[in-house]
Amino acid sequence: MNVIGIIAEYNPFHNGHIYQIETIRAKYPKARIIALMSGSFTQRGCPAILDKWQRASHAVLSGIDLVLELPAAFAVRSAQNFAHGGVSLLSRLGVVDGLSFGAESPLAFLQCAADSSKRSDVQELLHAYVQKGHSYAAALSHAIAQSSGINEAFLKQPNNILALEYLRALNCCATSIEPFAVARIGAAYHDEELHDTYASASSIRREIQTAAPRRNLLAKVLPANSMEALFEAHTEEAIPEINLLFRPLLAQLEHHTLENLQEIYGINEGFENRLLHAASHCLTMKELLDECRSRRHPQSRIQRLIFHIMLHLRRQDIHEFDENGPLYARILAFNRAGKSLLHEIKQKSSLPLISKTSHFLKDAALKYSPEKRTTLENMLALDIHATEVRRLCLPQIAKRGEDFQRSPLFISDKRKTPA
């Protein structure tokens, strides 16, 4: 493999991510690595703990050659859409021949599960379980396990869930990109306790959001640049909190009818009734999330729906995005090897490389209705609006317009400069 892609969130960048990079380098020492990274919001519908430029720079300082933003149109979606959007974008770059991802199980096991998911009997079971009220992820694992005899417990492990979707996306995109699974080490994905060397991102976020984060423990699980950025954000009250979206959400819902909400992507099965009822008396975001939660609507899905409401993301918008796939590659950070990759992408890909947002979308155009913009402009506008919504989640609100003001970072000899 000459160019290997990683689809990630780096929320925040930690030692487990360094382990993945080192594992790739050990097997493919001459390979260059491209990371597709979620921008201002993560797949679970939460604001990223540090802004996308900071997280991208930490990745390049630790061995990634080029970081591109995974558009929010795919990043803040289900695991299936997240994986498909990422694989599609990597494939369209025209230079990527490998995809690396973490997994709790061997690649052969996961490939067997991915292959079985295409069978008609599995698809029938999948739809039957969804009709019974199971979430898509749960329905898929039930269907594969029931039809193939694969142990369902393995399919439910967090990294395996995404790994399975990456493999299914590779099959669906008919790409020549080869998978490269890296065995997960250290803490479990959702483990909230800090462990030496390799801790989960969840436990790191939980610790830095305490009143007095323990520097000695975080120093063991984070590279120095990532740790210092987190402590600086903690000191300056610059760590976002999804709870701060509660009042803006209530203000939005005051103007929504049931019919309006039914236009929003992902809102169906009567969820609009439950949401409006909860909003009529809940006093905190936690209360609202608790009241709206169900087997079919876990907290992560509800948080994504809140994001979609805040950005007024309609079904027809998503349908258009999915039909076209990712339409650009937005550059966040790169090193010298990444710079050569950008030259190759320009030669081999039809996708535009975005380094200056204003060259593709003017600030004034953000006020236009989606019908007055192109699909690319609407996709890019969603990324920009996501950054502005993340700004609302900061205890000390920041200035607007970062996406128009900030340039990609060129990082050479561990120093960051605007490109």
pLDDT tens digit sequence for 99-140: 999 999 899 989 999 998 888 898 999 889 888 888 788 888
Alpha-carbon Rg for the chain, nearest whole angstrom, is 21
- Strand segments (E) across 129-227: 178-183
One-letter amino acid for residue 25 of the chain? R
**277 belongs to an annotated ligand binding site:** no
**10 belongs to an annotated ligand binding site:** yes
Cβ atoms of 83 and 165 within 8 Å: the answer is: yes
**185 belongs to an annotated ligand binding site:** yes
Cα–Cα distance measured from residue 54 to residue 104, given in angstroms and rounded to the nearest whole number: 28
Q: What is the mean pLDDT of residues 351-365?
A: 96
> Which ranges of 41-78 does DSSP label H, i.e. alpha helix?
52-61, 72-75
**20 belongs to an annotated ligand binding site:** yes
Cα–Cα distance measured from residue 163 to residue 168, given in angstroms and rounded to the nearest whole number: 9
Query: In the predicted model, what is the mean pLDDT of the chain?
Result: 93
**14 belongs to an annotated ligand binding site:** yes
Cβ atoms of 229 and 213 within 8 Å: the answer is: no
Cα–Cα distance measured from residue 331 to residue 44, given in angstroms and rounded to the nearest whole number: 23
Q: Dig out the tokens for 173 from the structure.
A: 């995109």
**Selected residue with higher pLDDT from 151 and 345:** 345
Q: pTM of this prediction? A: 0.94
- pLDDT, one tens digit per residue, over 328-341 is 999 999 999 999 99
Residue 363: partners with Cβ closer than 8 Å, 6 or more residues away: 401, 404
Can you tell me whether residue 331 is helix, strand or coil?
strand
- Nearest one of 336, 356, 298, 358 to 138, comparing CA atoms: 298
One-letter amino acid for residue 402 of the chain? E
One-letter amino acid for residue 41 of the chain? F
**17 belongs to an annotated ligand binding site:** yes
**15 belongs to an annotated ligand binding site:** yes
Q: What percent of the chain has pLDDT over 70?
A: 96
Using CA atoms of 316, 319, 325, 330 in order, give the dihedral in degrees to the nearest 10. 30
pLDDT of residue 149: 80
How many Cβ atoms sit within 10 Å of the Cβ of residue 326? 27
> Which ranges of 256-406 does DSSP label H, i.e. alpha helix?
258-263, 271-279, 285-292, 299-310, 315-324, 336-348, 375-392, 402-405
Cβ atoms of 85 and 37 within 8 Å: the answer is: no
**184 belongs to an annotated ligand binding site:** yes
Cβ atoms of 344 and 368 within 8 Å: the answer is: no
Cα–Cα distance measured from residue 64 to residue 333, given in angstroms and rounded to the nearest whole number: 9
Cα–Cα distance measured from residue 76 to residue 40, given in angstroms and rounded to the nearest whole number: 10
Cα–Cα distance measured from residue 88 to residue 72, given in angstroms and rounded to the nearest whole number: 14
How many Cβ atoms sit within 10 Å of the Cβ of residue 407? 14
Indicate if the pLDDT at residue 419 is higher than 80: no
pLDDT of residue 398: 85
**Selected residue with higher pLDDT from 138 and 385:** 385
Cα–Cα distance measured from residue 180 to residue 100, given in angstroms and rounded to the nearest whole number: 5
Q: What share of the chain is helix, strand, coil (3-state, %, to 5)?
A: 55, 10, 35
pLDDT of residue 313: 96
Cα–Cα distance measured from residue 222 to residue 185, given in angstroms and rounded to the nearest whole number: 15
pLDDT of residue 416: 60
pLDDT of residue 147: 83
Cβ atoms of 89 and 36 within 8 Å: the answer is: yes
Cα–Cα distance measured from residue 95 to residue 92, given in angstroms and rounded to the nearest whole number: 8
Q: Dig out the tokens for 394 from the structure.
A: 């900061």
- Nearest one of 209, 304, 289, 205 to 246, comparing CA atoms: 289
pLDDT of residue 280: 95
Q: How confident is the model at residue 191 (pLDDT cuts 50, 70, 90)?
A: low
Cα–Cα distance measured from residue 123 to residue 129, given in angstroms and rounded to the nearest whole number: 10
pLDDT of residue 173: 86
**368 belongs to an annotated ligand binding site:** no
